[in-house]
Amino acid sequence: MTQALKEALVRYTDARGGADGAYATAVDGLYLMRASGEALPTARVYRPALCVVVQGAKQVLLGEAAFDYTEGQALVVSVELPVLGKVTRASAQRPFLGLNLDLDVGILREVMAQLDPPPRPGPGRLGLFVGGLGEALADCVLRLLRLLDTPEAVPVLYPGLMREIGYWLLAGPHAGEVCKIALASGPTQRIAEAIRLLREDIARPVRIGQLAAAANMSPSSFHQHFKTLTSMTPLQYQKQLRLLEARRLMLAGQANAAAAAYRVGYESASQFSREYARMFGAPPRRDVACARAPAMPA
């Protein structure tokens, strides 16, 4: 099955020219990735998703925690998280091949409602984990990929395939973690509501009382659950969101460093520059210049 996935990903990325990068597809929320060499970490906010490595290896950093996954393994993300990701094994002869699939929380809830008995949530942990893909789940992913050959079939067949993917995730060895995504009133979804508020206006100062109220928790309980799920305090989480958005603005040519800092809520340009360099490894101007420079051949 892994070989079939490799062949499919090579074919679909070759059809886009075979260049390194991430490719959106006709399937909403499905992205294909290819890299012919190791690269500097890239920062982004992960939504609830299934991230699969088909060839090569990748590392994701969440706060101080590192998660490595390789061929035949998947990273499952249960809540929106700002992370750094980098390809750690790839070459021109054996490029990194992977895919990210956004999970449909509504479909997961429908599937879990039909399970008897439904899985029980496990103890509080970080909002992502690595596990084996398994043959049944790999088969679903392969059939989802093959929908790209017939885009007109996507609206009809996509919901059923997502239900299958949801079933195997909820029936698998990590069901206790996956089910937290589907629990409408569980701590994971209550923290997700607070995260939504943080993302709506990242320039606004963090108010723990307001966030705790949105999560229907006491401030102390909210702080504990938030850090367990994200590995960060709300203030640290917001800082990463601000820096990611500032970088996006600069890369898009929509703001210089000073303007980007102001738009995301920084009052001190020097503080912004220090925290930016700490996260991305270089001051804003140098980092953006490097990110825009053409990649060297692998």
Average pLDDT, the chain: 90
Token digits of residue 193: 């509501």
Q: Looking at residue 29, what is its pLDDT?
A: 93
What's the topology of domain 2-182? Jelly Rolls (2.60.120)
Q: Which residue has the higher pLDDT, 276 or 290?
A: 276
Helix (H, G, I), strand (E, B) or coil at 31: strand
Over residues 61-71, mean pLDDT: 90
- Second-level CATH architecture of 236-292: Orthogonal Bundle (1.10)
Q: pLDDT for 134-192, tens place per residue?
A: 999 999 999 999 999 999 999 999 999 999 999 999 998 888 888 888 887 788 888 98
Contact (CB, 8 A) for 74 and 51: yes
Token digits of residue 183: 């629990």
Q: Looking at residue 294, what is its pLDDT?
A: 53
Q: Is the pLDDT of residue 297 over 60?
A: no
Contact (CB, 8 A) for 291 and 248: no
What are the two backbone dihedrals, phi and then psi, of residue 181, each rounded to the nearest 5 degrees? Answer: -65, -35
Q: pLDDT for 76-123, tens place per residue?
A: 998 889 998 999 999 999 999 999 999 999 999 999 999 988 888 877
pTM for the full model?
Answer: 0.84
Token digits of residue 206: 């963090």
Over residues 65-75, mean pLDDT: 94
Q: Rounded to the nearest 10 degrees, how much is the dihedral formed by the CA atoms of 49, 57, 71, 297?
A: 110
Over residues 122-130, mean pLDDT: 82
Q: pLDDT for 278-289, tens place per residue?
A: 998 899 999 998
Name the DSSP letter for residue 255. Answer: -
How far is the first Cα of the chain from the last one, in angstroms, to the nearest whole number?
28
Over residues 223-234, mean pLDDT: 91
Cα distance between residue 238 and residue 206, in whole Å: 8
Q: Which residue has the tokens 């108010």?
A: 207
